[in-house]
Amino acid sequence: MLDVPTWEGHLAGQHVDVRLTAEDGYQAQRSYSIASAPQDRSVTLTVDRLDDGEVSPYLVDVLQPGDALELRGPIGRYFVWEESLGGPLALIAGGSGVVPFRSMLRHHAAIGSAVPVRLLYSARSLPEVIFHEELVRLGAREAVDVRVALSRAWPDDWNGHRGRIDREYLREAAWPASSGPLVYVCGPTSFVEAVADALIDLGHDTDRIRTERFGATGSGLPAPSASQGGT
Amino acid sequence: MTSASRGFFGRRRPSVDPARLPPGQYWTDDFPVLSAGPTPRTPIEDWSFTVRGGAAGTVTWTWEELGTLPTETFTVDIHCVTKWSKLDTTWTAISLDVLLERAAAEDAFVTAWSDGGYTTNVPLEDLIGGRAWLALAYDGEPLEPEHGGPARLLIPHLYFWKSAKWVRGLELRTDDEPGFWEGYGYHNYGDPWREQRYAGD
Amino acid sequence: MEALDGNAIAGQLMEVFGGEMTTVTGRCAGCRRTWQMAELEVHTHAPGTVGRCRDCGVVLMVLVTARGVTCVHLPGLVDLGMPTAP
Ligand SMILES: Cc1cc2nc3c(=O)[nH]c(=O)nc-3n(C[C@H](O)[C@H](O)[C@H](O)COP(=O)(O)OP(=O)(O)OC[C@H]3O[C@@H](n4cnc5c(N)ncnc54)[C@H](O)[C@@H]3O)c2cc1C
Ligand SMILES: [Zn+2]
C-alpha cells in the first residue's frame, strides 16, 4: 500500500512504473498495475515475487513500510474500463494478470454498476490465487460472476474449473461471441496470446479484445492451447 | 534528483577484477537474452551461410558443408552495450578467416545479415586476423535459438550487438552501410574499451 | 525473451511525447493494418525499444536513449491518429 503525496487519481486498469536506484547509480524499472480502485483511499500495488527476478524480490522482501519508492503514473488509457464502455464484460486473467481486474471489479462495485461482468482467473493452485476471499465477495454481487480455474493442483472438493483456460472452457464460460462482449485479457505473454487466439477462433471481434502482456513471469504458468479440443 | 533505494543492489554481485571490465560496464553471471524481434527458427535443412561480393562471387555453405570446416574452442569476455559484461565465455566456432578467404574478400566493409531482418556493419579488417568467428556452440552445447543458434557471429572485441545472432551471411561492400542499431544512433564501430556506445562517443 | 506490448512502454512514450500514447493509432507501412500503440509487439530486452507489427513483423517504432535524450524513429508507421479527448 502506498501513500502518494501528489496522486492525481487513476482509472481502473492503469499501471505505474516503479524505478529503483542503487547507491552507485544503477537503475532498474518495472511496471505494476494498480490494484486499488479509483475510489479507494490509498494506492495499492500487488507484486508477484519471481525467485530469479531483479525487482520483484526487492519489492516483496526488502521494501518496508516507510521506505520511499520512485513512481511514475498513472499510465495507460488503453487497458482501462469505465462504465461508459459498457459490456457485457469478460475479464480473463492468468496469474498476477488479475491485478488490474481487481481494480476494475472494485470500481464496478463502488459505482454500483449493473454492467454484467465475468472474471475468469487461472492460477496454478489454490494457495496461488490472489485476492481469493475478496473476489468471492465481489462475485456475490448480482452483476458479477467470478470463476477461478486451477491449472495444476486442486483440492478434492474443488468445484471450479480444473485445468487450463483453453478454447473449450472459453466457449463454455466466457460470454458467447454473439453477445458482443468487451474482453480484457491480462497475464504472462504466452497466456495472453493463447487466450486471444482462442477468442478470435471462437468468433470474437478483435476490436473488442484488449490485451496486456506482463512478459515472461518465470512462473511457468501453462499456456492454454488455442486449437485443442476439450480435455 | 533521484535518491538511492535502500537496500537495492540489482542483479549484479560484488565486482570482479575491474581491469577486465570496460568503462561503464557491470559484471553479470547470467547470460541475458537480447533481441529486437521474435526468435527465428529456420529448419536446418533450409539453412545456409553465404558470403557475397568477394572476388570468388557468391559462396554458400549448407549446414552440412560448414560441419566439414575446422573449428576452434576458446574462452573470451563479452561486453553488451546495455552495460553487462560476461567473463570467460567458451565458444566453439569457425574462424571468419576461413570463410572470407574462400570468398576472396577484398572490399573494405562488411554488412552481416540475419534471419528476421537484422543487420550490422563491421570493417573487414576487424573480421580477419583471428578476431572474429561464426560460433556454433556455447559452453560445449549447440547454440540455443535464443542465443542466436544455429549460428551467430562472435566479435568479442566489439560491443555484442555486432555479434549478430541468427546470422545468414556477410555482404562485402566498397561503402560502409550502417546496420540496424548503427542506423538508430548507436556507434558505427562500437569499441567497448573506448566506450563507443552512441554515435559521437 | 517473450515480447511485451505497447502497454509496457506507455510510461516511456508518455515521457517522450508528453502525453498518453497507448490509444494513438498508426498504420503499418508493410501490411496497412491499423493498430493502437498498446497493441504493438514490443521488445525491450535490446539496446533500444523496438515496436513491431503484430501481423507482419515490420519494425514500426524504435526508441533509443543516448545521454539522457530519447530519439524516436518511426520507420514503418504511417497515418498517426490521435484519439479525441474522452
Ligand atoms: C503493464 C504491466 C503491468 C504489470 N503489472 C504487474 C503487477 O501488477 N504485478 C506483478 O507482479 N507484475 C506485473 N507486471 C510484471 C512486472 O513488470 C515485472 O516484469 C515482474 O515483476 C518481474 O520483474 P523482476 O525484475 O522481478 O524480474 P526480471 O528480472 O525482469 O526477470 C523476469 C524473468 O525474465 C527472466 N529474464 C530477465 N531478463 C532476462 C534476459 N535478458 N534474458 C533472459 N531472461 C531474462 C528472468 O530470469 C525472470 O524469469 C506488469 C508488467 C507490465 C508490462
Ligand atoms: Zn504489418
pLDDT at C16: 93
C23 φ/ψ angles, rounded to the nearest 5 degrees: -100, 5
Tell me if B47 is assigned to some domain. no
Region for residue B120 given its phi and psi (left: phi exceeds 0; alpha: psi -120 to 50; beta: otherwise): beta
Q: What is the pLDDT of residue A144?
A: 98
Residues A88 and A180 in one domain: yes
Average pLDDT, chain A: 91
Å from A73 to nearest chain C CA? Answer: 7
How far, in Å, is the centroid of ligand 2 from the Cα of A196?
18
Confidence class for position A113, pLDDT limits 50, 70, 90: very high
Contact C66 B82 (CB under 8 A): no
State the sign of the Cα–Cα–Cα–Cα dihedral C30, C35, C36, C39.
negative
Chain C residues with CB inside 8 Å of A190's CB?
Answer: 2
Across A87-94, average pLDDT: 96
A112 and A194 within one domain: yes
Residue A161 and residue A135 in one domain: yes
User: Is A55 near ligand 1, meaning CB less than 6 Å away?
Assistant: yes
Domain total for chain C?
1
Q: Is A219 in the pocket of ligand 1 (CB under 6 A)?
A: no
Q: Is 60 exceeded by the pLDDT of residue B106? A: yes
In angstroms, what CA-CA distances link A85 with A78, A81, A113, A137?
Answer: 12, 7, 12, 24
| Total structural domains within chain A | 2
Per the domain annotation, does C33 fall within a domain? yes
Query: Which is more confident, A186 or C81?
Result: A186
Which pLDDT value is given to residue A5? 74
User: Does residue B6 form part of some domain?
Assistant: no
- pLDDT at position B14: 60
Per DSSP, helices labelled H in chain A are: 56-57, 99-110, 132-139, 167-173, 189-201
- Do residues A43 and A121 share a domain? no
Closest ligand to the CA of A218: 1
A44 and A136 part of one domain = no
User: Do β-strands A144-150 and A117-123 pair in parallel, antiparallel, or remain unpaired?
Assistant: parallel
Residue A84 pLDDT exceeds 60: yes
Mean pLDDT of B41-70: 96
Judge whether residue A145 has pLDDT over 70.
yes
Backbone conformation region of residue A227, classed left if phi is above 0, alpha if psi is from -120 to 50, else beta:
alpha
Q: What was the pLDDT predicted at A230?
A: 26
**A88 and A172 both lie in a single domain:** yes
Same domain, A50 and A65: yes
Same domain, A138 and A59: no
A127, A138: one domain: yes
CA distance A40 to A116: 22
Distance of CA C58 from the midpoint of ligand 2 (Å): 6
- Are the beta carbons of A95 and A219 closer than 8 angstroms? yes
Answer yes or no: is the ipTM higher than 0.85: yes
Task: Read off the pLDDT band of B46 (50, 70, 90).
Answer: very high
Looking at residue A218, what is its pLDDT? 57
Question: Mind listing the pLDDT tens digit for each residue in C30-76?
Answer: 999 999 999 999 999 999 999 999 999 999 999 999 999 999 999 99
Question: Do A195 and A124 sit in the same domain of this protein?
Answer: yes
Residue numbers of the domain that contains C40: 4-79
Residue-wise pLDDT tens digits, B163-182: 999 999 999 999 999 999 99
Cell numbers placing A183:
474482453
Nearest chain A Cα distance for residue C56, angstroms: 16
Let me know if residue C84 belongs to a domain: no
Q: How far is B3 from chain A (nearest CA, A)?
A: 7
Domain that holds residue A47: 2-77+216-228
Instruction: Based on the fold, state whether residues A96 and A194 are members of the same structural domain.
Output: yes
Kindly list the residues from chain B whose CB atom is less than 8 angstroms away from the CB atom of residue A68: 3, 5
Q: In this complex, which chains have at least 3 CB pairs below 8 Å with chain C?
A: A, B
Same domain, A106 and A10: no
Please provide residue B53's backbone torsions phi and psi, each rounded to the nearest 5 degrees. 95, 0
Does residue C16 lie within any of the structural domains? yes
Chain C nearest CA to A217, separation (Å) = 9
Residue C31: inside a domain: yes
Residue corresponding to grid cell 579488417? B125
What confidence category does residue A231 fall into, taking pLDDT thresholds of 50, 70 and 90?
very low
Distances, alpha carbon A97 to alpha carbons A133, A158, B105, in Å: 17, 22, 53
Cβ burial, residue B189 (10 Å; 0-12/13-18/19+): middle
Task: Look at residue B172 and tell me if it is in a domain.
Answer: yes
A121-137 mean pLDDT:
97
pLDDT tens digits, residue range A183-226?
999 999 999 999 999 999 999 999 999 999 999 875 444 333 33
pLDDT of res. B9: 83
Which CATH number does the domain housing residue A11 bear?
2.40.30
Mean predicted confidence (pLDDT) in B35-46: 95
> How open is the CA angle B169-B172-B174, to the nearest 5 degrees?
155
Q: Does C16 touch chain A (CB under 8 A)?
A: no
| A101: pLDDT strictly greater than 70 | yes
What dihedral angle (degrees, nearest 10) is formed by the CA atoms of A219, B12, B35, A97?
30
* pLDDT score of B133: 98
Instruction: Answer yes or no: do B82 and C41 touch at CB < 8 A.
Output: no
pLDDT, residue B13, reads: 60
How many structural domains are present in chain B? 1
Mean pLDDT score, A81-89: 95
Q: Is the preceding omega at residue B192 within 30 degrees of 0, hence cis?
A: no
Q: Does the beta-carbon distance from A67 to B5 stay under 8 Å?
A: yes
Q: Read off the CATH number of the domain in which A95 is found.
A: 3.40.50.80
Q: Output the pLDDT for position A118.
A: 98
Give the per-residue pLDDT at A222.
Answer: 39
Average pLDDT of the residues in A130-149: 97
Report pLDDT for A141.
Answer: 96
Subunits with 3+ Cβ pairs within 8 Å of B are A, C
- Does the distance separating the beta carbons of B3 and A22 come in below 8 Å? no
**CB pair distance less than 8 Å for B8 and A21:** yes
The DSSP 8-state label assigned to residue B76 in this structure reads E
pLDDT at position A229 is 27
Q: Which residue has the higher pLDDT, B26 or A35?
A: A35
Strands B84-95 and B26-27: parallel
pLDDT for the residue A228: 29
- Answer whether C11 contacts ligand 1 (Cβ < 6 A): no
- The verdict on residue C66 lying in a domain is yes
Within a domain: residue B51?
no
> Which pLDDT band holds residue A11 (cuts at 50, 70, 90)?
very high
Q: What is the pLDDT of residue B188?
A: 98
Nearest CA in chain A to B83: A26
Mean pLDDT of C10-23: 94
Look at residue B2 in the predicted model and tell me its pLDDT: 67
From CA B77, how far away is CA B88, in angstroms rounded? 5
Whose CA is closest to A129, among A156, A106, A160, A105? Answer: A160
Residue C85 forms part of a structural domain: no
Asked whether residue C35 is domain-assigned, the answer is: yes
Domain containing B193 — which CATH number? 3.90.420.10
